[in-house]
Structure 1
Amino acid sequence: MASLNVGNLGEYLREQRRAAQLSLRQLAEAAGVSNPYLSQIERGLRKPSAEVLQQVAKALRISAETLYVRAGILDEREREELETRAVILADPSINERQKNVLLQIYDSFRRENGFVPEQDETDEAPRADETLKADARKDDNPHS
């Protein structure tokens, strides 16, 4: 993980707050933190917790993961992976089984490209191709 870069975070929060046309007091109230505490975060004097960052992100209507990266809590690659997973899981046009299969395929490609360690033999998660075959058998046999 990256080291904590509070100054960069504070500048970014200030920019986001101004872009949202919120005063420091308005953002503090919306995020449920004190006005002086938020001011200290913006000035790079305080290191907020992940929980506080999540509250601020929600109030600003931005990704909490983006703030985690700015604060050095989360690596950029981890953020991208989390956002990809969140988009898949939030898609109302596909069912839970399809979401799981899609995530398994995604993980398979990431492993193939060296971004995720290989699953060990004790891992019980089925491979995507095995899940697809099992689903096809279920579709062929409606009595199972």
Structure 2
Amino acid sequence: MASFDVGNLGEFLREQRRQAKLSLRQLADAAGVSNPYLSQIERGLRKPSAEILQQIAKGLQISAETLYVQAGILDERDPEQAAHGARRPGVREAVAADPGLTDPQRQALLQIYEAFRRENDTEPDRAGPERTDPDRTGPDSN
């Protein structure tokens, strides 16, 4: 297991907060932690518990695993583990970690992604028209 790197975690949290366009106070409120405590974490002065990291991740709408890796609580999964069914980083984490994107590009991608997720979550039947129309036997039945 990696060592706990509070400084890198703080920088990462600050960048994630800025990408989410949240003030320190807004994130503190969303995560249920005090504003001064969150500020100390961002400045690398405090070592948050896994529970606090989970609350902060929820406030940032990223996976807690991402913060655990940044904090050194969890080791980053290697590509071989991912190939054998281990969880890969989510879309939000991948977009946030891509150094080739600008902040406005990241925000645009995340907004589009969230719009697709909301659309799919509100659909009554996600099977598609081919399976829900009893008069059709397949996609080329017209």
Q: Is this a same-fold pair by TM over 0.5?
A: yes
**Residue identity matched to 1:70:** Q
5+ residue gaps in structure 1?
A: 87-92, 94-144
Q: Alignment RMSD, CA only? A: 2.2
- Aligned residues, how many? 86
CA distance in structure 2 between the aligned counterparts of 1:32 and 1:5, rounded to whole angstroms: 23
Q: TM-score, length-normalised on structure 1?
A: 0.55
Distance in 1 between residues matched to 2:6 and 2:31, nearest whole Å: 18
Which residue of the other structure, out of 62, 84, 87, is the alignment partner of 1:83? 87
Question: Which aligned segments of 4 or more residues in structure 1 are displaced greater than 6 angstroms?
Answer: none
Cα distance, 1:41 vs structure 2: 0.2
Counterpart residue number, 1:60? 60
Distance 1:35 1:72, change over 3 A: same
Alignment of 1:25-64 (within 5 A): 25-64=25-64
When residues 82 and 29 of structure 1 are mapped into structure 2, their CA distance, relative to the original with a 3 A threshold, is: farther
Cα deviation, residue 82, structure 1: 5.7
For residue 63 of structure 1, report the CA deviation from its aligned partner: 1.1
Larger radius of gyration: 1
Please tell me the residue identity of whatever aligns with 1:59: G
SS of aligned partner of 1:39: helix
* Structure 2 runs not aligned, ≥5 long: 91-125, 127-142
Percent identity of the aligned residues?
Answer: 77
Pair 1:12–1:27, CA change in 2 (3 A): same
Matched with 1:20 is 20
Hey, what does 2:74 align to over in structure 1? 74
User: What is aligned with 1:133?
Assistant: none
TM-score normalised to structure 2 length:
0.56
Distance in 1 (CA, whole Å) between partners of 2:37 and 2:30 is 13
Shift, 1:77, TM fit:
1.7
